Structure 1
């Protein structure tokens, strides 16, 4: 079974989340995680993104840098991998995610990448 694994360019935990939120407010242009910026508001995951993820034809998971399992190949973050069993390959690069300027662009990118890659 396929699984889409999104990896944030951030660490997990409440303190890190608080610091990330402050960084997004104080200096949004230097915030290092475009995936976080697009999919999270100040109060949590955006409803539009949550609904989109739930409707995908593949299970989606979200990890932080400090939660990465050893089977994921090295990459620049944020990014997304397509996992099939024990194997995972890069599906969406950091450059592609960083180029998205809206949640609509991100949704289009995700759909275009999983089309033909998920059976």
Structure 2
């Protein structure tokens, strides 16, 4: 079954999480993960994104870069969205994600890509 794998440009864990929150609050324009900026505010997932992912009708997996590299044994340019069948295929590369300005644009881009 086809699924989507979203990989954020940050590492997992409480220390990384706190650093990410601080960075988003103090210097949001220089935060390194445009995917996280689109889908989350400083403290939680955006309600509109949560609703979209729950209703899109396709399994989605969300990983930090360290989790992705451990699970799949490969690296990528982050953030990135993969389509997963038997293998991983880039659905949206970093450049495309970085070019999106709003959550609505991300949702539309994911819908079109599917």
TM-score by length of 1: 0.88
Query: How many residue pairs were aligned?
Result: 112
Unaligned runs of 5+ in 2: none
Q: Secondary structure at the match of 1:76?
A: coil
Superimposed CA distance per residue, residues 11-35 of structure 1 (whole angstroms, 9 cap, x where no aligned partner): 0112211110110111111111001
Alignment of 1:76-95 (within 5 A): 76-85=77-86, 87-95=87-95
Counterpart-to-counterpart distance in 2, 1:79 and 1:47 = 21
Q: Which runs of 4+ in 1 moved over 6 A?
A: none
Counterpart-to-counterpart distance in 2, 1:7 and 1:40 = 14
Unaligned runs of 5+ in 1: 115-119
Superimposed CA distance per residue, residues 25-55 of structure 1 (whole angstroms, 9 cap, x where no aligned partner): 1111111100111111122111110110111
Q: Which residue of 1 aligns with 2:110?
A: 110
Q: Secondary structure at the match of 2:15?
A: helix
Cα distance, 1:82–1:89 mapped onto 2, change above 3 Å:
same
CA contact (8 A) 2:4 2:82 kept: yes
Q: Secondary structure at the match of 2:72?
A: coil
Q: Which residue of 2 aligns with 1:3?
A: 3
Counterpart-to-counterpart distance in 2, 1:19 and 1:77 = 18
CA contact (8 A) 1:71 1:88 kept: no
Counterpart-to-counterpart distance in 2, 1:20 and 1:52 = 24
Question: Which residue of 66, 70, 73 maps to 2:72?
Answer: 70
Larger proportion of strand: 1
TM-score by length of 2: 0.92
* 1:24 maps onto 2:40 in alignment: no
Larger proportion of helix: 2
> RMSD of aligned C-alpha atoms?
1.2
